[in-house]
Structure 1
Amino acid sequence: MSDEEQSPGHLQQPGTTMALGHGTGEETVRRTVLPGGLRVVTESVPGVRSASVGCWVDVGSRDENRAQAGAAHFLEHLLFKGTSRRSAARIAEEIDAVGGELNAFTSPEHTCYYAHVLDTDLSLAVDLLCDVVFDAVNSSHDVDVERGVVLEEIAIRDDDPQDMAHELFTSTVLGDHPLGRSVLGTEESVRAMSRARVHGFYRHRYAPPRMVVSVAGNISHEHVLELLHKALGERIAGSARPEPPRTGAARLPRQQRLSLRSDDSEQAHLLLGCRTFDRHDERRHALGVLNAALGGGMSSRLFQRVREQRGLAYTVYSDITSYAETGTFAVYAGCQPDRLEEVNGVIREVLAEVADEGLTDAEVARGRGQLRGGLVLALEDTASRMSRLGRHELDYGQYLGVERTLRRIDAVTGQDVAELAADLLRRPLSTAVVGPYADSDELPGTLR
Structure 2
Amino acid sequence: MHTVELQGEGSGVKRTVLPSGIRVITETMPTLASETVGIWVDSGSRDETDRTAGSTHFLEHMLFKGTRTRTARQIAETFDRTGGESNAATAKEYTCYYSRCLVDDLPVVTQLLWDMVLDSLIDPAEFERERGVIIEELAMDADDPTDVLYESFDSFVFGDHPLGRPIGATKEQIAALPHEVLLEHHAANYIGPRLVFAAAGGQSHEAVVEQVLAATAHLPVPQAPGHTTEQPTAEAPAGSRPLAGSRPGRPERTAPGFRSGTLLVDKETEQQGIILGVPGLPEAHPDRFTFSVMYSLLGGGMSSRLFQSVREEHGLAYSVHCFASRYQDAGQFGIYAGCSPAQAQAVVDLCAAEFARLATQTPAEDEVAAVIAQASGSTMLGLESSAARMNRLARLEMSGQPFESPMDALARVRAVTPEMVRDLAARLHAQDAALVTVGPAKSLHLPD
TM-based fold match above 0.5: yes
* Amino acid corresponding to residue 424 of structure 2 in structure 1: L
User: In structure 2, what is the equivalent of residue 45 of structure 1?
Assistant: 29
- Deviation of residue 19 (structure 1)? 1.1
> C-alpha distance in 2, partners of 1:406/1:428?
32
- Superposed CA deviations along residues 300-330 of structure 1, whole A, max 9, x for unmatched, are 0000000000000000000112111111101
Q: Secondary structure of the equivalent of 1:68?
A: coil
- Deviation of residue 36 (structure 1)? 1.6
- The yes-or-no answer on 1:182 pairing with 2:166 is yes
* Amino acid corresponding to residue 125 of structure 1 in structure 2: V
Equivalent residues in 2 for 1:193-342, closer than 5 Å = 193-235=177-219, 237-238=221-222, 241-242=227-228, 244-247=242-245, 250-342=254-346
- Deviation of residue 46 (structure 1)? 1.2
- Counterpart among 135, 141, 156 of residue 140 in structure 2: 156
**CA 1:18/1:239 → structure 2, altered by over 3 Å: closer, same or farther?**
farther
- Deviation of residue 198 (structure 1)? 1.3
Q: Secondary structure of the equivalent of 1:342?
A: helix
User: In structure 2, what is the equivalent of residue 444 of structure 1?
Assistant: 444
- The yes-or-no answer on 1:69 pairing with 2:53 is yes
* Amino acid corresponding to residue 140 of structure 1 in structure 2: P
8 A contact 1:37–1:236 mirrored in 2: no
- Superposed CA deviations along residues 11-68 of structure 1, whole A, max 9, x for unmatched, are xxxx021111269xx7501110011211000111111111111000110011001121
> C-alpha distance in 1, partners of 2:173/2:440?
28
- Superposed CA deviations along residues 253-307 of structure 1, whole A, max 9, x for unmatched, are 3514111222111100000110023222211111111110000000000000000
* Percent of residue pairs identical: 39
> C-alpha distance in 2, partners of 1:250/1:206?
22
> C-alpha distance in 2, partners of 1:362/1:174?
38
**CA 1:373/1:174 → structure 2, altered by over 3 Å: closer, same or farther?**
farther
**CA 1:103/1:217 → structure 2, altered by over 3 Å: closer, same or farther?**
same
Once superposed, what is the RMSD of the aligned Cα atoms? Answer: 1.9
> C-alpha distance in 1, partners of 2:304/2:220?
49
> C-alpha distance in 2, partners of 1:86/1:388?
31
The farther-off stretch of 229-238 and 65-74 is: 229-238
* Amino acid corresponding to residue 175 of structure 1 in structure 2: G
User: In structure 1, what is the equivalent of residue 386 of structure 2?
Assistant: 382
The farther-off stretch of 82-91 and 145-154 is: 145-154
**CA 1:227/1:254 → structure 2, altered by over 3 Å: closer, same or farther?**
closer
* Amino acid corresponding to residue 328 of structure 2 in structure 1: A
> C-alpha distance in 1, partners of 2:160/2:367?
36
TM-score, normalised via structure 2 length: 0.91
In structure 1, list runs of 5 or more residues that go unmatched: 1-14
> C-alpha distance in 1, partners of 2:401/2:352?
38
* Amino acid corresponding to residue 312 of structure 1 in structure 2: L
User: In structure 1, what is the equivalent of residue 7 of structure 2?
Assistant: 21
User: In structure 2, what is the equivalent of residue 147 of structure 1?
Assistant: 131
> C-alpha distance in 1, partners of 2:111/2:128?
27
- Counterpart among 90, 93, 97 of residue 77 in structure 2: 93
> C-alpha distance in 2, partners of 1:122/1:27?
22
- Superposed CA deviations along residues 91-110 of structure 1, whole A, max 9, x for unmatched, are 00111112122210011101
- Counterpart among 367, 373, 376 of residue 371 in structure 2: 367
**CA 1:231/1:163 → structure 2, altered by over 3 Å: closer, same or farther?**
same
TM-score, normalised via structure 1 length: 0.91
- Superposed CA deviations along residues 59-90 of structure 1, whole A, max 9, x for unmatched, are 00110011211111111111111110111110
> C-alpha distance in 1, partners of 2:194/2:255?
23
**CA 1:239/1:402 → structure 2, altered by over 3 Å: closer, same or farther?**
farther
- Superposed CA deviations along residues 406-429 of structure 1, whole A, max 9, x for unmatched, are 111111111111111111112211
8 A contact 2:258–2:279 mirrored in 1: no
- The yes-or-no answer on 1:417 pairing with 2:403 is no
> C-alpha distance in 2, partners of 1:276/1:265?
29
* Amino acid corresponding to residue 444 of structure 2 in structure 1: P
- Superposed CA deviations along residues 315-348 of structure 1, whole A, max 9, x for unmatched, are 0000112111111101000001111011111111
Q: Secondary structure of the equivalent of 2:198?
A: strand
- Deviation of residue 174 (structure 1)? 2.3
8 A contact 1:293–1:301 mirrored in 2: yes
Q: Secondary structure of the equivalent of 1:21?
A: coil
- Deviation of residue 202 (structure 1)? 1.1
> C-alpha distance in 1, partners of 2:50/2:367?
44
> C-alpha distance in 1, partners of 2:228/2:261?
40
Q: Secondary structure of the equivalent of 1:242?
A: coil
The alignment covers a number of residue pairs equal to 428
8 A contact 1:169–1:272 mirrored in 2: no
8 A contact 1:54–1:215 mirrored in 2: yes
User: In structure 2, what is the equivalent of residue 8 of structure 1?
Assistant: none
> C-alpha distance in 1, partners of 2:206/2:405?
21
> C-alpha distance in 1, partners of 2:210/2:244?
30
In structure 2, list runs of 5 or more residues that go unmatched: 230-241, 247-252
**CA 1:447/1:413 → structure 2, altered by over 3 Å: closer, same or farther?**
closer
The farther-off stretch of 121-130 and 388-397 is: 388-397
* Amino acid corresponding to residue 347 of structure 2 in structure 1: V
> C-alpha distance in 2, partners of 1:125/1:58?
21
User: In structure 2, what is the equivalent of residue 345 of structure 1?
Assistant: 349
User: In structure 2, what is the equivalent of residue 6 of structure 1?
Assistant: none
> C-alpha distance in 2, partners of 1:271/1:65?
27
**CA 1:193/1:447 → structure 2, altered by over 3 Å: closer, same or farther?**
farther
